[in-house]
A and B are shown apart, each in its own frame.
Chain A
Amino acid sequence: MKALVVDDSRTMRRIVARILQDLGYETDEAGDGQQAIDLLEAGEVYDLACIDWNMPVMDGLEFVMAARARTDWRAMTLMMVTTEAEHGQIVRALAAGAHEYMIKPFTPDAIRDKLELLGLIPAEETV
Chain B
Amino acid sequence: MSAIGIFDSVQLTAIAEEVFAAMVDGEPGLLLPWWDGPATVTDPLHAWVDLHASYTGRVLLTTDAATADDLARALLGMDAAEVVSEADLVDAFGEVANVVGGNLKALLPEQGKLTMPLVSRQPPSHEGAFQLDEVLLAWRGRPLVISVWNL
A residues sitting closer than 8 Å to B (CB atoms) are: 8-12, 14-15, 18, 54, 56, 82-86, 88-89, 104-107
Contacts and interface: CB of A to CB of B under 8 A. Distances in A.
SS class, residues of chain B in contact with chain A: helix
B58 interface: no
Nearest to A83: B102
B114 A15 contact: no
A5 to B, nearest CB: 14
B92 interface: yes
16 contacts: A8-B116, A9-B94, A9-B95, A10-B88, A14-B76, A15-B75, A15-B77, A18-B77, A54-B114, A83-B105, A85-B102, A86-B111, A105-B22, A105-B23, A105-B99, A107-B22
A89 B111 contact: yes
Interface centre among A12, A18, A86, A105 (most CB of B within 10 A): A105
Nearest to B99: A104
Contacts of B106: 85-86
By size class, the interface of chain B is 20 to 34
Contact of A83 (B91, B94, B99): B99
A104 B95 CA distance: 10
Contacts of A54: 98, 114, 116
A84 B112 CA distance: 10
Given A86-B106, A104-B102, A11 B114 contact: no
B95 A11 contact: yes
B47 to A, nearest CB: 12
